[in-house]
Amino acid sequence: MSTNNNKQHRQTISISRLWRMLVLPLMAVVVATVPAKAFLARPVIFASIGSVTTAPSGWLQFCSENPDECRTTPDPQQNVELTPDLLQQLFTINAFANDRVKWTSDLERYGKIERWAMPLDRGDCEDIVLLKRRMLAQAGWPTGALLITTVEDPKAGNGRHAVLTVRTDRGEFILDNQSPEILFWYETQYRFLSRQSATDPNLWVAFADAKELPGPVLAPRVR
């Protein structure tokens, strides 16, 4: 086994241990729950998807180094039936990853403008999204419901940013390292560019032009 493979194997073990040691106990003792009834009473509106587009170069590089993370699953496309417990799980994992990983640029970590990698304690937005995707998959969420998404952030001069879209029967939620909130996609201020297809993580699709949607509403947070 090569040095890189050994490193990746150790990293996978470390993340799995973090999950067992920190996240699962935290989920078991959470007392405060998300007021799910009010949260889930909002409009169920799914984003309009357009044509197939080019996958980000960082994803292609990540898949060449981590093929197991990029395999197409045999399960058909499905939206998760969201329950209060699963909603709480989204909040718990989102908060854990955001708190665990200190935002660090790829230039500082690797001396490169762009590199996607599974983080331990440092990483940028794409890395944090990869961690959330893995942790949710390990918790039993289908990967077809966990879609890496690229957006433009008007607060950063329309700079590129990555978030995780989670598809459920109650709509599509955005998990974002820049906010402790979990919002429906239409509640964010982002301009959505592209995301993974729900049927194949290596197939990326562009977003169609957004129609008139409800205005931003802050989602409740777990305290």
Per-residue DSSP letter, 216 = P
Quick check: is 89 in a domain? yes
Quick check: is 219 in a domain? no
Residue 49, token pair as written in the block: 């998807």
Q: What pTM was estimated for this model as a whole?
A: 0.80
Report pLDDT for 37: 62
Report pLDDT for 36: 62
Quick check: is 31 in a domain? yes
Q: Residue 20 and residue 106: Cα distance in Å, rounded?
A: 28
Quick one: what percent of the chain has pLDDT higher than 90? 64
Report pLDDT for 182: 93
Quick check: is 212 in a domain? no
Q: Is 190 strand, coil or helix?
A: coil
Quick check: is 188 in a domain? yes
CATH number at residue 79: 3.10.620
Residues spanned by the domain of 173: 3-207
Question: Over the stretch 102-144, which tens digit does the pLDDT of each residue have?
Answer: 999 999 999 999 999 999 999 999 999 999 999 999 999 999 9
Residue 144, token pair as written in the block: 């077809």
Asked whether the beta carbons of 145 and 166 are under 8 A apart, the reply is yes
Q: Higher model confidence: residue 213 or residue 173?
A: 173
* Mean pLDDT score, 207-212: 66
Quick check: is 176 in a domain? yes
Quick check: is 158 in a domain? yes
Asked whether the beta carbons of 220 and 35 are under 8 A apart, the reply is yes
Least confident among 26-30, 48-52, 163-167, 190-194: 26-30
Question: Over the stretch 163-182, which tens digit does the pLDDT of each residue have?
Answer: 999 999 999 999 999 999 99
Number of domains the chain is built from: 1
Report pLDDT for 60: 97
Q: Residue 47 and residue 66: Cα distance in Å, rounded?
A: 29
Quick check: is 190 in a domain? yes
Report pLDDT for 72: 86
